Amino acid sequence: MKKELNVIDIGTSTVCTAIAKCDKFNPKNKSNNIKILGCGYRMTKGLTYGALTSIEDLEGILLKTIADAEKESQKHIKHVIIALPSWATESKLVDNTINIGSTPIDETHINKLISFSNSDPNIIHVFPISYAVDSSDGIQDPIGLLGNQLSAVFNVVYVKSGLINNLRNCLSQCGIVIDNFIYSSYASALSVALSDEMQSGIMLIDMGGSSTTIVCISNKQLLYTGIIPVGGSHITRDISVVLRTDKTSAERLKILHGVSYSNNLPTHNEEQILVSSVDEFGEEHIQNVSKSTLDLIISSRLDEIFELIKQHIEKNNIDEMYYQNIIITGGGSQVASLNEYIKTKNLFFGSSVRLGKPICVTGENDFVNTASFATAAGTILYELGNEKYNKQVKSSGFLNKIVSIFKKGI
């Protein structure tokens, strides 16, 4: 198999377009045979902390990243799959029941059960949470069972229709057709988690620019989504304001120097860092800033973000099985020594926590090996696996206790 795919990740801080080539693909082990031929990424415009403020600015950035990717790859994009962030989507639980007439349940019945999604173009995912046959519920795999009625609870992800229309109109002017949409945090999980982890259960913390998304996945199904309205851009802004430096310099300080921790306290480090800043008279000059000062700025905001995450987990009664295996990814997670900070603070009740980067792609552009590329990489995997609407998945049921938990949170 030789296949080329084009994807666009619309993030709150970065828009990325990638052109990928795959000679062969094994979805079970995500073989590292996906090569990124071209990649274009720019700082997002038209979005302010999760709100669409200017479709014209967003369209302009989209077209620039497409042009960058085409130039690097010497390819022309005609079709594309788009990953959309949390602010552009919403999810809710949907119940559906069909009569099966005392015949063994097969794939035809499953497809009929999910057929309600075909009439709504704004639906991009249908994730089964639990099946029931007659009075027997909590069934994982109903195939082959006998009964009169088959029912299920689905987590259905919708896209806001106005955004879909605007994106289609924008790209159609350039002769580009949108083939599919995917929820960005689910895409990220596909690229940073192992297949066994996606099956057994993970909590993904996707640190974006203006927000942090929490998703829970088990049996490869997206069961829960939650949003914390703070992300990596808040750390960058804090550095910029306190040190009176521009955002580009602040972002570089965050990624290169990050935070140092020892015995639950910021390390007292008087190492001096040169920072370009602007004084109260508008004069630009170079100042010396101690590493301890930078540590304090970054750690203060990190403390807030992770405290909000813990509060969200507790408030929504998320089952302990999910936060036993936590993966942190996204552009906002690119803080130097973040992993050491998490371990030293003993966050998440001693759970297994690791930082996630794409494990399935290669490319000459260094950007493809960063956490910022996780969503784009996962979007490629999603399309290669032909998982649209997840209708091919047979086994995806859960206990009623889990269903009730997620009814509270979605």
d(CA 179, CA 82) in angstroms, rounded, equals 8
Bigger pLDDT: 160 vs 156: 156
The answer on 203 and 143 residing in a single domain is no
The answer on 222 and 321 residing in a single domain is yes
pTM for the full model? 0.86
Tell me if 234 is assigned to some domain.
yes
| Burial class of 146 by CB neighbour count within 10 A (0 to 12, 13 to 18, 19+) | exposed
pLDDT given at position 319? 79
Tell me if 381 is assigned to some domain.
no
The answer on 339 and 205 residing in a single domain is yes
The answer on 341 and 202 residing in a single domain is yes
The answer on 245 and 299 residing in a single domain is yes
80-89, 306-315, 332-341, 378-387: lowest mean pLDDT where? 378-387
Indicate the length of the chain as a whole number: 410
Q: Output the average pLDDT for the chain.
A: 85
Tell me if 96 is assigned to some domain.
yes
d(CA 106, CA 108) in angstroms, rounded, equals 5
Domain boundaries, position 236: 195-357
Number of H helices, E strands in the chain: 11, 21
Distance from the Cα of residue 403 to its chain's centroid: 22
User: Considering its fold, how many domains does the chain have in total?
Assistant: 2
Start-to-end Cα distance in the chain: 39
Q: Structure tokens of 342?
A: 């998490």
pLDDT at 382 over 50: yes
Tell me if 383 is assigned to some domain.
no
Tell me if 60 is assigned to some domain.
no
Residues facing residue 127 across a β-bridge: 155
pLDDT given at position 230? 93
When pLDDT is averaged across residues 168-179 and rounded to a whole number, the result is 89
Tell me if 341 is assigned to some domain.
yes
pLDDT given at position 84? 92
Hey, what amino acid is at 373?
Answer: F
pLDDT given at position 400? 37
DSSP 257: T
Bigger pLDDT: 113 vs 280: 113
Structural contact between residues 323 and 348, judged by C-beta atoms closer than 8 angstroms: yes
The answer on 400 and 313 residing in a single domain is no
pLDDT at 110 over 60: yes
The answer on 200 and 291 residing in a single domain is yes
pLDDT at 119 over 90: no
- DSSP E strand boundaries for 118-197: 123-133, 136-139, 149-159, 177-183
The answer on 219 and 149 residing in a single domain is no
- Would you place residue 75 in the very low, low, confident or very high pLDDT band (cuts 50, 70, 90)? very high
179-183, 327-331, 405-409: lowest mean pLDDT where? 405-409
Kindly report, residue by residue over 237-288, the tens digit of the pLDDT: 999 999 999 988 999 999 999 887 654 555 556 788 888 887 776 778 888 8
DSSP 392: T
The answer on 259 and 326 residing in a single domain is yes
Angle of the 374-384 helix axis to the 184-192 helix axis, nearest 10: 90
Tell me if 12 is assigned to some domain.
no
Helix (H) or strand (E) segment spanning residue 62: helix 55-73
Kindly report, residue by residue over 43-56, the tens digit of the pLDDT: 888 877 567 788 88
Structural contact between residues 80 and 170, judged by C-beta atoms closer than 8 angstroms: no
The answer on 227 and 146 residing in a single domain is no
pLDDT given at position 264? 52
Q: For residue 308, what is the domain's CATH number? A: 3.30.420.40
Distance from the Cα of residue 202 to its chain's centroid: 13
Q: For residue 110, what is the domain's CATH number? A: 3.30.1490.110
Angle of the 232-243 helix axis to the 247-256 helix axis, nearest 10: 110
The answer on 349 and 201 residing in a single domain is yes
pLDDT given at position 392? 33
C-beta atoms surrounding 5 within 10 Å: 20
Q: 33 in helix, strand or coil?
A: coil
pLDDT given at position 278? 77
When pLDDT is averaged across residues 291-319 and rounded to a whole number, the result is 91
pLDDT given at position 347? 75
Kindly report, residue by residue over 180-223, the tens digit of the pLDDT: 999 999 999 999 999 889 988 899 999 998 899 999 998 888 99
The answer on 232 and 327 residing in a single domain is yes
Q: Structure tokens of 268?
A: 């007292």
Tell me if 4 is assigned to some domain.
no
Bigger pLDDT: 164 vs 264: 164
